[in-house]
Amino acid sequence: MMNNPLLTKSTLPFGAPEFDKIENQHYMPAFKKAIEEGKAEVDTIVNNPETPTFKNTIEALEYAGSTLNRISHIFYNLLEADTNDEMQNIAEELAPLTTEFSMYVSLNEALFQRIKYVYEQRNNLSLNQEESRLLEKTYESFARNGANLSPEDKEIYSKYVEELSLLSLQFGKNVLAATNAFSLNITEESELAGLPDYVKEQAAEAAKDKGLEGWLFNLTAPSYGPFMKFSERRDLREKMYRQYNTRAFGGETDNSETIKRIAELRIKVAKLLGYKNYAEYKTERRMVKNPDAVGEFLERLLKPALPKALQEVSDLNTYAKNHGFNEEQIMPWDFSYYAEKLRIEKYDLSDELLKPYFQLENCINAIFDLAHRLYGLTFNELNDIPVYHKDVKVYDVRDNNGSHLALFYADFFPRESKRGGAWMTEFRGQRIYETIEERPLISIVTNFTKPTADTPSLITHDEFTTLLHEFGHALHGIITKGTYESMTGTSVDHDFVELPSQIMENWAYEPEYLNTFAKHYETNETIPNELIEKIVNSKNYLSAYYHIRQLQFGILDMAWHSLTEIFEEDSLTFEKKVLSSTNVLPSIPECIISTAFSHIFAGGYCAGYYSYKWAEVLAADGYSLFKEKGIFNKEVAASFRELLTKGDSIDPAVLYRNFRGHDPEPEALLKDLKIIN
């Protein structure tokens, strides 16, 4: 036990995790020991003979379970970014143990009575703002997690939560397995018609890695996206589309009953806690406050956009027919293909034209430079800090006064052990413990095109926008400054957490910024102004269509979580019914979103997917201040930094008003997307 690297204090600079020493065999003993330690810390609070105070109860609880928290950050992040069968089995074995610990805390009657005692004295305690908010959030968290239930109901609640935890893991495991299960191995060069060289190179490399002849395509974003956009083989596009959109639906990895059971258990949990449905329970503590407000918000964004999206699809249909398409209606597997063709014709712009100017290394330096110009931060790569995979890079982040702010880990390329998509996370949050400040360990994970033997990693403009997005989350984690980890960095309301990321995306369209770094990887020529102009002009190409697509995800999520009882029909029928009035392309009978909708069934976005659009509104409204005062304006940046620093120590609505001077307006987004004037 003594030499378990998860249980000993890291000797590395900044307390970085000792990834070079951690092995799968270390996880289970470390978790068991940390759970034991966490329970002992809770028992110490409960058995304290002194009258409950903020310090001996609320603050002591905030710091209890720190070892478990640290180990969990490492294990669950690696489970997403570099998993294997053994880790997935460990996760399943762990689920009942970690759930039991969380119930040991949240359903602990004696502990809750101490919290309640302090909470009822709150007006006489002379607490500062941060302490008051921690007290309020601690009390609410217990009340919202079953502390007021009867002993019998607490037992039922525990069972529901444990089953939910296991089902959520099973869901994620099925999606990853289903994504990895399919690949398209092409051996005839004629079947590559339409695909640009970079796509073919990547596919040839993928085939070589698997010991296969020819070219290999799969369902990960860097492979699937370009194939759908460029392949002239309609039959193969359809095949890829159907495989992608039936992931984890049917067969060994089927999630269709899993999601019904998850939804059913969430209804039961909500009702047990005194709510009508899970959406009511979840939204109560968010900026929007209730499901009706979410519905109204989505409707306000949907109504003016739907006719425009239908018109965009109709125009694309006409274009396709004028260019050799001889069916009545373009299908979903035709959309990206013709959309790209029309975009090239309309704006004389393509990924292939732009990618040479977006070499990944230059893009990374450019986002570091942006953070320096706005906030005075500097990033220095460290080569002596161990990483969990050879592709990962680590940087020491310093503030404008030279002080250390964070370690920043970046993991850019796809692999079978990594789930799809892009995300920001942390291996350790920021806090002050016993007067010593611990700075955070922040990470971003993406799935960008790998370099090949002949070409460096070149990313699309969309991928560069994704990089800015995740880096916005990272800045939220890096800049934060507070006392309590549960309220620093990105530990904020879900409908607020996307603001820092989405506001950053705007710089991807700023000529003044792009021409500082976008240089051709072969000639070193700066991106021509006319290309930048085309990027800006094409920003809102098919914007209503993509806007509706995002709204559909939000609507589907709210439908699953607004149920008051589980439906009789199957998941596919339920989804089709929910989305029927918002479809702008033909709906394919056997295709489904829900069975691979990880955000809401395996992530933290259940009854919260709308928050992407909510944050887009905040970002459109907030960025207009940068546009007005200058995109590198120091005063606006300082004011926004203040918002980033505060974490959840202040109500997000107040934080936003302090920055912008008024409440957000949905119309700001519709104007930004050119859906309304």
* pLDDT at residue 471, as a whole number: 98
Q: Check whether 302 has a pLDDT greater than 90.
A: yes
CA distance 57 to 46: 8
Please say if 470 is a catalytic residue.
Answer: yes
342: Cβ contacts below 8 Å, ≥ 6 apart: 316, 319
Tally of domains in the chain: 3
- Say whether both 198 and 97 belong to one domain: no
Last residue of a domain, one of 247, 263, 283: 247
| Mean pLDDT value across residues 200-209 | 94
Question: pTM to 2 decimals?
Answer: 0.86
Given a cut of 80, whether residue 1 has pLDDT beyond it is no
In DSSP terms, which residues pair with 217 in a beta bridge? 184
User: 3-state secondary structure string, 632-662?
Assistant: CCHHHHHHHHHHHHCCCCCCHHHHHHHHHCC
Q: Give residue 539's pLDDT.
A: 92
Q: What is the pLDDT of residue 664?
A: 84
Indicate whether 95 and 186 sit together in one domain: no
Q: What is the pLDDT of residues 464-517, one digit of tens each?
A: 999 999 999 999 999 999 999 999 999 998 779 999 999 999 999 999 999 999
Is 329 a member of any domain?
no
Please tell me the predicted confidence (pLDDT) of residue 2.
58
Q: Is residue 655 part of a domain?
A: yes
**Residues in CB range of 151: below 8 A, 6 or more apart:** none
Q: What is the pLDDT of residue 3?
A: 87
Nearest residue to 222 via CA among 501, 69, 418: 418
What are the backbone dihedrals phi and psi of residue 565, each rounded to the nearest 5 degrees, phi first? -155, 155
Do 241 and 373 share a structural domain?
Answer: no
Asked if residue 78 lies in contact with residue 17, where contact means CB atoms within 8 angstroms, the answer is no
Q: Select from 158, 14, 174 the least CA-distant residue to 92.
A: 174
Residue 671 pairs in a beta bridge with none
pLDDT for 416-472, tens place per residue? 899 888 999 999 999 999 899 999 999 999 999 888 888 899 999 999 999 999 999
From CA 21, how far away is CA 187, in angstroms rounded?
Answer: 42
Q: Does residue 302 fall inside a structural domain?
A: no
Verify that 195 and 135 share a domain, yes or no: no
Tokens of 202: 């990547």
Domain-ending residue, one of 247, 268, 302: 247
418 and 520, same structural domain? yes
Does some domain include residue 436? yes
- The per-residue pLDDT for 555 is 98
Taking residue 190's Cβ as centre, other Cβ atoms within 10 Å add up to 7
Pairing of strands 441-445, 404-411: parallel
**370 and 449 together in one domain:** yes
For 413-438, give the DSSP string: S--TTS-SS-EEEEEE--EEETTEEE
The closest of 385, 387, 388 to 79, measured between CA atoms, is: 388
Q: Which residues contact 468 (CB under 8 A, 6 or more apart)?
A: 367, 504, 505, 507, 508
Q: Which of 286, 139, 144 is CA-nearest to residue 652?
A: 286
Let me know if residue 350 belongs to a domain: no
Please compute the mean of the pLDDT values over residues 318-344 and round it to a whole number: 96
pLDDT for residue 285: 85
Distance, in Å, from the CA atom of 369 to the CA atom of 366, rounded to the nearest integer, reads 5
Domain that holds residue 230: 182-247
Average pLDDT, the chain: 95
Find the DSSP H helices in 523-672.
529-537, 543-561, 571-579, 598-601, 611-629, 634-645, 652-660, 666-672
pLDDT, position 47: 98
Domain assignment present for residue 283? The answer is no
Q: Which of these, 80, 188, 15, lies nearest to 423 by C-alpha position? A: 80
Residues 662, 522, single domain; the answer is yes
The string over 394-408, giving b where at least 16 C-beta atoms fall within 10 Å of a residue's C-beta and e elsewhere, is bbbbbeeeeeebbbb
pLDDT of residue 665: 82
Segment 68-94 mean pLDDT: 96
Tell whether 585 is covered by a domain.
no
Give pLDDT tens digits for 241-258: 999 999 999 999 999 999
Whether 133 contacts 487, CB under 8 Å: yes
Distance CA 137, CA 573 (A): 39
The pLDDT tens digits of the residues spanning 534-577 come to 999 999 999 999 999 999 999 999 999 999 999 999 999 999 99
Cα dist from 320 to 117, 317, 500, whole Å: 69, 5, 38
Considering the domain architecture, whether residues 74 and 218 belong to the same structural domain is answered as no
Taking the C-alpha atoms of residue 246 and residue 257, their distance in angstroms, rounded to an integer, is 14
Q: Is the pLDDT confidence value at 296 over 80?
A: yes
Asked whether residue 72 is assigned to any structural domain, the reply reads: yes
Distances (CA, A) of 235 to 91, 222, 232, 329, 334: 39, 20, 9, 16, 10
The pLDDT-based confidence of 288 (bands split at 50, 70, 90) is confident
- In the predicted structure, residue 591 carries a pLDDT above the cut 90: yes
Same domain, 433 and 534: yes
Which residue, 575, 602, 569, is CA-closest to 589? 575
- Judgement on whether residues 517 and 657 belong to the same structural domain of the protein: yes
Is the confidence at residue 5, as pLDDT, over 70? yes
Of 247, 278, 296, the domain-final residue: 247
CATH of the domain at 498: 1.10.1370.40
Q: Which is catalytic among the residues 312, 463, 470, 616?
A: 470
Task: For tokens 């799969």, name the residue.
Answer: 218
For residues 408 and 460, membership in a common domain is answered with yes
Contact 71, 34 (CB under 8 A): yes
- Residue 222: its pLDDT value, please? 86
Beta-bridged to residue 184, according to DSSP, are 217
Those residues whose C-beta lies under 8 Å from the C-beta of residue 452, and which sit 6 or more positions away, are: 201, 202, 205
The CATH number covering residue 123 comes to 1.20.1050.40
**What residue has token string 């051996």?**
187
Residues 71 and 206 placed together within one structural domain of the fold:
no
